[in-house]
Copies of this chain bind each other. A is one copy, B any other.
Amino acid sequence: MENTILFKSKQEVEIVKEYPEPIMDVAQLAHVEILSPKPEETIKFFTEILGLELTDQKGNSVYLRAYEENYHHSLKVTESEKAGLGHAGWRARTPQALLRRVKEIEASGLGIGWIEGDLGHGPAYQFTTPDGHLMELFFDVEYLDASEDQKTVLLNRAQKRPESGVPVRRLDHINLMTPNPKENSDFLMDVLGFRLTEKIVNENKTLGTWLSISNIVHELAFMNDPSKSTGRLHHICYWYGVPQNLFDVADLCKENNIEIELGPRKHSISQAFCLYVYEPGGNRVELFGDAGYLIFDPTWKAPIWSDLQQVSDRGIGAGFTESYWNYGTPDVKAPVEVD
């Protein structure tokens, strides 16, 4: 036991060691924009198989949300020549928290600037990871009221459970590829207050990091990109919270020609029940069947896994595939040398 506080009397103690104050300014991953060369099929997958609801559209983009999400959208699908990440949208805890973080981002040199907003949210500050993944931070959001025929009996649910597909409940996290997971993680930890929850280090090379701004193991993970490409998306993840639903939706995927990459599987890292499929546009989509484990310990020491094989072997069910470690969107046929 580290002793940071010295007991003196019933009335008095003394702090003998201070801890850094954690940055709690970023509250949540609020939405993700993905790019799809086959937007109609992509939307059909998200609505008919995963039960998302189409809430809006504008230009080449369509907005969707899950039935337990009360903002305007958690997913924006934008038509594009290639699949990949459009951007990730984070919501700050307060307006002041937003401005505090913007100041730090600007100081880091990775800031882009403010935009007036988008359907469903107010002014947002755009920036990129060192690797070039586009992100934005905002506070003001539009809550979407359920229409009359979407009314639910549960006051804590945004709208009633859909009857089509095996409906997901909310956006969970994103996983980004980068040739340099450590540098990118450090940026998010130092500037935005993300906390490291697990990592993989092999021969001094960080191969993966799991980063959290809450009690779940991650809102964002970085995975090593062996192709040395930058800015690629590994996957986005939606959440069920119930393990069996993964087998139900996998059955539906098999029957509807949606390619399953791997799983259902119980991860070692995060301990989550998971399933990976490719949406028709080519982006990998993960589905989470439970909450894995939650972290409440404020001095959590991130476990360090020694290699990819260990990470694969210590889970339960299907092991990771070659594609899992290499494929991202946009797809790169040949490894791209960067520097």
Contacts from A to B (Cβ < 8 Å): 1-13, 15, 17-22, 24, 27-29, 48-49, 68, 70-71, 91-99, 113-117, 121-123, 125, 138-143, 152-157, 160-161, 163-165, 169-170, 198, 214-217, 241-245, 247-248, 250-252, 254-256, 260, 263-266, 268-271, 273, 290-294, 296-299, 303-305, 314, 316-319
- A-B contact list, 19 entries, CB within 8 Å: A1-B141, A3-B122, A5-B122, A7-B116, A7-B123, A12-B114, A21-B94, A68-B293, A93-B298, A94-B298, A154-B271, A155-B303, A161-B251, A170-B294, A241-B293, A245-B248, A247-B266, A250-B317, A254-B316
Select from chain B the residue with minimum beta-carbon distance to A301. B143
Select from chain B the residue with minimum beta-carbon distance to A300. B70
Contact, CB under 8 Å: A139 / B316: no
Contact, CB under 8 Å: B250 / A316: yes
Contact, CB under 8 Å: A1 / B165: no
A1-B119 Cα distance, complex, nearest whole Å:
11
Contact, CB under 8 Å: A216 / B123: no
Partner of A96, one of B19, B161, B270: B19
Contact, CB under 8 Å: B95 / A4: yes
Please name all residues of chain B whose beta carbon is closer than 8 Å to the beta carbon of A163 when the two chains form the complex. Answer: 48-49, 164-165, 252, 256
Smallest Cβ distance from A70 to chain B, in angstroms? 7
Contact, CB under 8 Å: B27 / A298: yes
Known contacts A15-B96, A27-B296, A152-B255; A317/B139 CB under 8 A: no
Please name all residues of chain B whose beta carbon is closer than 8 Å to the beta carbon of A296 when the two chains form the complex. Answer: 27-29, 214
Contact, CB under 8 Å: B122 / A268: no
Partner of A91, one of B19, B92, B93, B298: B298
Known contacts A140-B5, A290-B291, A317-B264; A255/B15 CB under 8 A: no
Contact, CB under 8 Å: A13 / B123: yes
Contact, CB under 8 Å: B243 / A4: no
Smallest Cβ distance from A100 to chain B, in angstroms? 10
Contact, CB under 8 Å: A156 / B123: no
Select from chain B the residue with minimum beta-carbon distance to A244. B244
A3-B270 Cα distance, complex, nearest whole Å:
37
Contact, CB under 8 Å: A22 / B93: yes
Instruction: Rank and list the top 7 A-B pairs by shortest CB-CB distance, nearest first.
Output: A155-B303, A244-B244, A28-B296, A291-B291, A10-B113, A27-B298, A19-B94
Please name all residues of chain B whose beta carbon is closer than 8 Å to the beta carbon of A266 when the two chains form the complex. Answer: 247, 250-251
A146-B136 Cα distance, complex, nearest whole Å:
42
Contact, CB under 8 Å: B268 / A154: yes
Known contacts A244-B242, A303-B156; A15/B99 CB under 8 A: yes
Partner of A95, one of B19, B24, B292: B19
Select from chain B the residue with minimum beta-carbon distance to A51. B163
Known contacts A214-B215, A297-B70; A305/B141 CB under 8 A: no
Select from chain B the residue with minimum beta-carbon distance to A305. B155
Contact, CB under 8 Å: B316 / A260: yes
